[in-house]
Amino acid sequence: MSATPFIQFLGPTNLDGYDRKLPASEQPDHIPKTFLDAMEVREAVFVQEQGVPLENEFDSDDSRACHWVIYASVNETTDPEVTDDDGNILQRKKSRTTSQPIGTIRLVPFPHPPHPEPGSSYYADALETAPIPDGRNPPPYIVDRATTYHDGVEPYIKLGRIAVIKDCRGAGISKLLAGAAMSWAQQNPTFFNPSVATMGMENVGASSTEEIPVWKGLMCVHAQEQVAPAWAKWGFKIDEKMGTWNEEGIKHVGMFQRVKTVSIAPTI
């Protein structure tokens, strides 16, 4: 494995045709390789290790999200060295270097579904009492319930699906991924701000230009309780009023952080 892994970015992408019941290795050829690599890591961690059903790992946010995949360079022997009885080399060893996906994270833009209720149970990022989303349309703009760090109105972006394969943990890969996603968001603060000219005021939950949703640096994570300390090291704080809930049978907490970003007028 190389000492300096490299990171690949994938912006929002049309993923029509992705079959959530099949593994990444069996998806159609038109699905971007970077996304397939992200799913390969997620399947290894969430499906194989944690028991999340394969069909629930791909969800309605994947096509509108930004994804980062971190790779390691792996040297593989293709032909072994061959020697004669006297030790003379008849054929030198041949090898090749390949890039192996070892970690991933995604960033989901606003708007979001309502905050989960304490004690609720989710699958595929949807309440068990709600229908499974079809993956095509984002949720509507809403006024949510207020929590410790969110007033229920301010737009926020959500980091999640952070995963590192077992053999590469403990090497700071998660920190690299979180840092890459957070830095990108700070440098591209208007990327997800809606255009009223394109969407119309009624579709962005605004009755005036002052109410047009604009991202101002608020970030959220729905963190597995066991990894909340890692997110805390990266600046996130547990939102006590969000309580705890289960996603795929795993206990989660809500966490927020506000990062510095430039103030840019909304796109009209």
Specify the pTM. 0.84
Q: What are phi and psi of 122, to 5 degrees?
A: -120, 155
Q: What are the tens digits of pLDDT across the range 245-254?
A: 999 889 999 9
Read off the DSSP letter of residue 144.
P
Q: What are the tens digits of pLDDT across the range 119-132?
A: 999 876 544 444 44
Distance CA 218, CA 7 (A): 24
The residues pairing with 99 across neighbouring beta strands, listed in sequence order, are: 73
Give the pLDDT mean for 135-153. Answer: 88
Distance CA 263, CA 5 (A): 33
Which residue from 10, 30, 6 is spatially nearest to 19, judged by alpha carbons? Answer: 30
Q: What are the tens digits of pLDDT across the range 73-118?
A: 877 777 888 888 888 888 888 877 789 999 999 999 999 999 999 9
Check pLDDT > 60 for residue 3: no
Spans of all domains in the chain: 6-258
Tokens of 49: 């290790």
Q: Given 3.40.50.300, 3.40.640.10, 3.40.50.720, 3.40.630.30, which CATH number is that of 6-258? A: 3.40.630.30
Q: Across the chain, what does the average pLDDT equal?
A: 88
Distance CA 190, CA 213 (A): 11
Read off the DSSP letter of residue 243.
-
